[in-house]
A and B are shown apart, each in its own frame.
Chain A
Amino acid sequence: MNKTYFEILRAGVNTTIQDKGRNHLYHVGIAVSGAIDQRNYTLSNRLVENQLDEPVLEFAYQGPLLKLKNGKINFAISGDIFFKIIRKNLEIEEGECYKSYFLDEEDQVDIISTKNSTYGYLAINGGFDLEKTWGSYSINTKANIGPNDGKKYSLNDKIFIKKIDIKSPINKKINYDYSTDNIIRIIKGTNFDYFSKDAIDKFFNEDFLITNLVDRMGIRLKGPKLENIKNTNIKSEGLVRGVIQVPADGNPIIMLSDHGTVGGYPKIGVVIAADLDLVGQLTPGTKINFKEVSLEEAQNIFKAYTEDTNKYLNECN
């Protein structure tokens, strides 16, 4: 029996498989990885009636051009994405995010670009035919762990798809307004007192620019120099997603899913869990502001975030 697969006719900038992430390996130096935007990842699975923890295809900026071979599937794309479906008779359909589509043998999906965001997700009904490494399907390109030898996909690679019986096309939709915000909420970091009063004022009141140095490991910002009055080095210690480190040059770095597991620069703050999806989607050239919240506020915001996600999941029909 011939396996169903996507043939990659154009790889895109950074196309990988991601899921919820890989836990319990920080102590050997392996990051959690997983989809940068966990809400959009989850919604994409729901749109094709998958378990919510199925692996999906994550792409950044320009996405892949995929041709379906030896089978039929249902797929959906989530995020803020410009894409087209090229049917085998060369008819072209404009794609809509948050909506499931039927794809026939030899049809193509052309993910042209993300719009006001960095990442998007493509889920297929039944899921990809892959193997887990250390409890996750996520590709970690920094440690070369996961499917495709831990590397991002390239031209002519094949992504195998689980064979399932497609009885009828899935017709699912979510009314989701993709929106973004330039205010990032943080909790004070464990080295907050390393910074001068002036630096703290600037941190909360001035703009920080997202530079071009952005990837799945982290985001380097440029803004007013944040003056350190204690020590620009600390003894290397654990990091988590959302930590904002400030090296000696005074420019903050925000840790994302593939971040180094330990670091030696002072931590001025930590992005709250509810804002991590948002931060990960920020594009170079955007200006952001930081706002402080208490631990209690952060926990309430996270509750609201989870309820919001559930609301969209329940509305999907």
Chain B
Amino acid sequence: MVKNISNLGDAAVYCDFGPEVNETINSNVIDYFHHISKLIKDKKIEGITNLTPSYNKLIISFDLTITNYKKIKNFIEGLNINRDIKNNNQKIKIPVCCDDEYGLDFLRLTKKLKIDKNKILELYFKKEYFCYMTGFIAGMPFLGDLNESIRCDRLETPRLKMPKGSVGITEQFANIYTFESPGGWNIIGNTPKKIFDDKNLVQPALVNPGDKVSFYQITKEEYLNWNE
């Protein structure tokens, strides 16, 4: 359930589902997202321009010329959300090359975490991750949860250009930079796999909220010869 509703500026509503991050709370956020998306499609509510679900928040942007904060807040408070039972989530495997030219932040990570690169990789590759959300840049999946020994803060100053395909970690999460972009995550490798396909107008993102993702390590040669 939404614990608190407030305004994010004058053209967005900030729905807070509480401080914790886990699959149950996130699934609730996703249920709200699907429910409201359907109401927008059926024209039951007007003025909403975007919905952004994340781990434990849902942000609703709206057009100030059509509606306002109070109207959207009342609408959210009046919703009755049932657990969505449809489950078409996938299991996805993603290759990563962790050679030093792709794993940009091993120096920082080994210093901060006080464990060596091989141990970081071992802990990273042996888990299966849950996709909490996609975003930041088109199709970037936010995956969790990392083993506790390899959790680390964001970079103090974000990089201006993260190479496309970079695989990053921060706190309990992992992600993939689907495009070159600025970014602040610790980069451990790079994937040659296409994670976002703009030609696919129905489902452009390879990984979607609720999916399970595992990674496997590839050599530089396999990386360079990757063919989809």
- A residues bordering B, Cβ < 8 Å? 23-30, 32, 133-134, 142-145, 150, 186-187, 189-190, 213, 217, 232-233, 235-240, 242-243, 247-249, 260-265, 267, 270-273, 295, 298-299, 302, 306
User: Cβ of A235 and Cβ of B134 under 8 Å apart?
Assistant: no
**B57's contact among A143, A150, A237, by CB below 8 Å, is which?**
A237
Q: Nearest chain A CB to B32's CB is how many angstroms away? A: 12
User: Can you list 12 A-B contacts (CB < 8 A)?
Assistant: A24-B49, A143-B138, A150-B198, A217-B182, A235-B21, A240-B50, A242-B9, A260-B136, A261-B52, A265-B184, A270-B10, A306-B65
**B171's contact among A26, A233, A265, A271, by CB below 8 Å, is which?**
A233
User: Cβ of A143 and Cβ of B136 under 8 Å apart?
Assistant: no
User: Cβ of B53 and Cβ of A27 under 8 Å apart?
Assistant: yes
User: Cβ of A236 and Cβ of B54 under 8 Å apart?
Assistant: yes
User: Cβ of B205 and Cβ of A29 under 8 Å apart?
Assistant: yes
Closest to B137 in A: A29
Q: B142: which A residues are within 8 A, CB to CB?
A: 236, 262
Bound complex: CA A144 to CA B138 (Å): 10
Q: A134: which B residues are within 8 A, CB to CB?
A: 201
- B residues bordering A, Cβ < 8 Å? 6-12, 14, 21, 33, 40, 49-59, 61, 64-65, 68-69, 133-140, 142, 153-154, 156-158, 160, 170-171, 173, 178-179, 181-182, 184, 196, 198, 201, 204-205
Q: Nearest chain A CB to B62's CB is how many angstroms away? A: 10
Q: A29: which B residues are within 8 A, CB to CB?
A: 134-140, 178, 196, 205
Bound complex: CA A150 to CA B8 (Å): 30
User: Cβ of A30 and Cβ of B136 under 8 Å apart?
Assistant: no
Q: B58: which A residues are within 8 A, CB to CB?
A: 238
Q: Nearest chain B CB to A309's CB is how many angstroms away? A: 10
Bound complex: CA A88 to CA B140 (Å): 49
User: Cβ of B50 and Cβ of A25 under 8 Å apart?
Assistant: yes
Q: B11: which A residues are within 8 A, CB to CB?
A: 240, 242, 273
User: Cβ of A28 and Cβ of B49 under 8 Å apart?
Assistant: no
**A28's contact among B56, B135, B153, B173, by CB below 8 Å, is which?**
B135
Q: A27: which B residues are within 8 A, CB to CB?
A: 33, 50-53, 133-135
User: Cβ of B68 and Cβ of A271 under 8 Å apart?
Assistant: no
**A143's contact among B65, B137, B160, by CB below 8 Å, is which?**
B137
User: Cβ of B10 and Cβ of A235 under 8 Å apart?
Assistant: no
What 20 additional pairs, Cβ within 8 angstroms, besides A145-B198, A236-B135, A298-B10? A25-B50, A26-B61, A27-B33, A27-B134, A28-B138, A30-B138, A133-B198, A143-B198, A187-B10, A238-B54, A238-B57, A240-B12, A240-B61, A242-B11, A260-B136, A261-B52, A261-B137, A270-B12, A271-B9, A299-B10
User: Cβ of B133 and Cβ of A262 under 8 Å apart?
Assistant: yes
Q: Which of A27, A190, A262 neighbours the largest number of chain B CB atoms within 10 Å of its CB?
A: A27
User: Cβ of B178 and Cβ of A240 under 8 Å apart?
Assistant: no
Knowing A27-B135, A299-B64, A302-B10 are in contact, say whether A32-B55 is a contact too (CB < 8 A).
no
Closest to A185 in B: B10
User: Cβ of A238 and Cβ of B52 under 8 Å apart?
Assistant: yes
Bound complex: CA A235 to CA B154 (Å): 11
Q: B135: which A residues are within 8 A, CB to CB?
A: 26-29, 236, 238, 260-262
Bound complex: CA A240 to CA B60 (Å): 9
**A23's contact among B7, B50, B53, B181, by CB below 8 Å, is which?**
B50
User: Cβ of A260 and Cβ of B181 under 8 Å apart?
Assistant: yes
Q: Nearest chain A CB to B168's CB is how many angstroms away? A: 11
Knowing A32-B49, A235-B21, A260-B136 are in contact, say whether A249-B54 is a contact too (CB < 8 A).
no
User: Cβ of B157 and Cβ of A247 under 8 Å apart?
Assistant: yes
User: Cβ of A190 and Cβ of B14 under 8 Å apart?
Assistant: yes
